[in-house]
Chains A and B, each alone.
Chain A
Amino acid sequence: MTKNCILELKDVGKTYSHPSGQKISALKSIDLKVRKDSLITIEGPSGSGKSTLLKIMGMLEIPSQGSVIFKGREVKDISPQKRSSLIRNEIGFILKRDNLLSYLNALENVMLPMINSNPDSAREMLIKVGFNKFKSCPKELSPLELQKVALARAMVNQPSIILADEATGELDKLESKEFMELLKHFQKEFTIIMATDDSHLSKYADESLKIENGALMH
């Protein structure tokens, strides 16, 4: 693993068992090195394996074959307890929708992953992403505002990697552009990996990967 590489996937494959007994191969022999402070897009149609790849990169799933090395440590050797703590400190997630807990306001949602709840840091992070309706509930926010809050929450623990799964999927063209520019702005501080089915977003990326039927097309 090179010094600049924070995440490495070696020959990673993932197979699921269908209730009928059939084996479904979601990922096939993926090799990937993620450099620090880069913005990577993973493009592919629905069902191509993008989300599975993100789940494996985010340590939420263990691959059926191959190895995932995060900051020099083999992920499958880390206990579930330590993995949760590692996820909290090192990885930020942004989902397509329903990122926020409906009964918490924007500020509380950002404070959620913080170990020492500090409203000032959370407020500062929200201001950084251009959001100031701290006390608003998720139902009062636009799709772009919701994603901005999700981005602030993903960044609040200063993680190494931010994983975004179709984070612009609910946004219109203008909103997508604004959100991607925001991600690009924070790329200096965080490594960002985004799964998307929108090929137009590749122009914001340092590296754009394509995935089809569970295999990466470099």
Chain B
Amino acid sequence: MSIYSLALKNMRRNKIRNISTVLRIGFGVLILLVLVGSGMGINSYIAQFESYSGNNQTSVNDSNHSLNTTIITYINDYLGLDLNNSANPIFFKVTNLLSNLLYFVDGIASLAFLIGVLGVLTTMYFNEVERRREVGLLKILGFNERQIFLSLALEGGLLGFISSLIGISLGSVGLYLISAFIPIISLSIALPWWLIIEVIILTTILSFASGMYPAWLASKNDPAMVFRE
């Protein structure tokens, strides 16, 4: 049996633990997508805000339904300000506030994502402790250390890959709901294709890397232990 096939079949083991890991990472991905997605909306707002704040009143009228217009209209209506004028001192304060908010949101998103992905480390460590005999069994069947290491690390990567798909699906629904209830961002602004691909690659690579140390520990197990009672 190939190590890839073994890694895939290993997922059947400890289903509850694997599902909880997948959901934990998936939740991290979801938070990342929703917050970065929203953050990108804010970022887009700041960029566009700065571009037209001088005297480009026409573009505001043209993008009546865009995020920036909505926010400007919202602030102007409720605070009685004229933020379309860069001479207005509050303009810079609002821009700074939004920039800081963007960093804060991105920080929270990265933290949630990292906590989720590091879940692979604990899951794979528990797997390693429980699987010592199984690893020994694989060794007496002729699997070498490199193959065992690769199959276990791949299992971590697979957990991350599945989690990223689940997180992206839930994140898309989440962003859709946000955009439906708060019509300040559209889904196309908040969830570009490159973000989806980056999240899948990043989650899979980080999960694979997190699973490497427990996999290395497991691969060093003594095969002779399977003879012990």
Residues of A within 8 A of B (CB): 51, 54-55, 58, 60-61, 80-81, 84-85, 87-89, 93, 95-96, 98-99, 101-104, 108, 111-114, 117, 153, 157, 165
Contact = CB atoms under 8 A, between A and B. Distances in A.
Given A101-B134, A103-B10, A103-B13, A84 B139 contact: yes
B137 interface: yes
A93 B140 contact: yes
B142 A60 contact: no
Interface residues of B, number: 25
Nearest to A89: B142
B12 to A, nearest CB: 4
Given A55-B227, A101-B134, A165-B227, A84 B10 contact: no
B118 interface: no
A58 B223 CA distance: 11
A75 B6 CA distance: 29
Nearest to A104: B9
A153 B140 CA distance: 12
Contacts of B133: 98
Task: Tell which of B133, B144, B145, B227 has the most Cβ of chain A within 10 Å.
Answer: B227
Task: Tell which of B10, B137, B143 has the most Cβ of chain A within 10 Å.
Answer: B137
Contact of B227 (A95, A111, A153): A95
A113 B12 contact: no
Nearest to A102: B13
A94 to B, nearest CB: 10
Interface in B132-163: 133-134, 137-146
Given A60-B223, A61-B224, A103-B10, A117 B140 contact: no
Contacts of A111: 1
Given A60-B139, A95-B226, 15 more contacts: A54-B227, A55-B227, A61-B224, A81-B144, A81-B146, A84-B139, A84-B142, A84-B143, A87-B141, A93-B141, A95-B137, A95-B227, A101-B137, A103-B9, A113-B1
A65 B143 CA distance: 26
Given A58-B140, A93-B140, A103-B10, A108 B1 contact: yes
Contacts of A87: 140-142
A60 B13 CA distance: 27
B5 interface: yes
